Amino acid sequence: MHLKLIFASLLLAGQSVAVSAQSEAAAPETAAPAQTVLFVGNSFTYGALSPVWHYRADTVTDLNGEGVGGVPALFKLFTEELGLNYDVYLETSPGKSLEWHWQNKAPLLDRAWDHVALQDYSTLNPDKPADPANLITYSKKFSAMFEARNPKVDIGLTSTWSRPDLTYRPDKAWTGRSIYQMALDIRRGYDAAKAANEAVDRVNPVGEAFNCAIAAGVADANPYDGTSFGQVDLWTFDHYHGSAYGYYLEALVLLGSITGKDPRLLGGEEEAASELGLSPEIAVKLQAIAARTLNGTPCDAPFEQPS
């Protein structure tokens, strides 16, 4: 009996080792560590005055501890839907410039990152609209700090959208000009910052995506006279900040810019669109607008899914 027990024990041990070996053989190789992404900006990054503001805040790390999900949380969900591995962080504050973030938050942000997206004040300079001088100065400071921690860091500058409140209302910086113009002026400022700083890898063309959505007939150009049937309003009730549609489009552009993936791969069943109340048709069109903006495809091209 004693020998039988010993034999049984040895047999079970052998089976256990075999099962363990099979499990190890079936397990995938150690996955590459998640890439880290830091978003720095203001209300245009955190999704103020929309359902995006605190959306899925538990999926990202708000370095200020304010429970913000925002556009970074949309980006995070998109990457998961595409099978990508990113750890997402954000540091945002309303109405602030990169100068303010540098002066008040630099120690908090001073660590190694794989990707960084920097967004400045919506007019670049609150006192001198479209003046890129401060953007140039402080994007350089941030870039030097990030490169010191990780020489291979990928840095993008997020160029924002035209504001109807500064275009259609009297006595404003862009009064009487095309709704497209402010975004183009802001983009020129970001291009100047990139040209002055070789550490910057690209400009994330969010403002141009807004322009493209309007040119394609997906979005209404003037929210002050109502939203035309079949179109969406990219701005919320103040005609300044983005709506859920606008922030969704922003996140799609950032997805393509940072990961290199085609936003159209998300498709009509994309989860965030459903949760935010965007129809599958509009989600697909906004994905196409983001792809067109990133690829340089004409905005009025037929809507097609990637092959």
Q: What angle do CA 133, 183, 56 make, to 5 degrees?
A: 100
Cα–Cα distance, 55 to 164 (Å, whole number)? 25
Domains of the chain and CATH, by start = 32-295 (3.40.50.1110)
Dmax of the chain from CA atoms? 100
Q: What percent of the chain has pLDDT over 90?
A: 87
CA-closest candidate to residue 43, choices 73, 61, 70, 77: 70
Residue 106 has pLDDT above 60, yes or no: yes
Average pLDDT over residues 107-112: 98
Ranges 41-45, 59-63, 281-285, 302-306: which has the least confidence: 302-306
Average pLDDT over residues 260-282: 98
pLDDT tens track for 183-210? 999 999 999 999 999 999 999 999 999 9
pLDDT grade for 9, boundaries at 50, 70 and 90: very low
Using CA atoms in the order 270, 266, 282, 223, what is the torsion angle rounded to 10 degrees?
A: 100
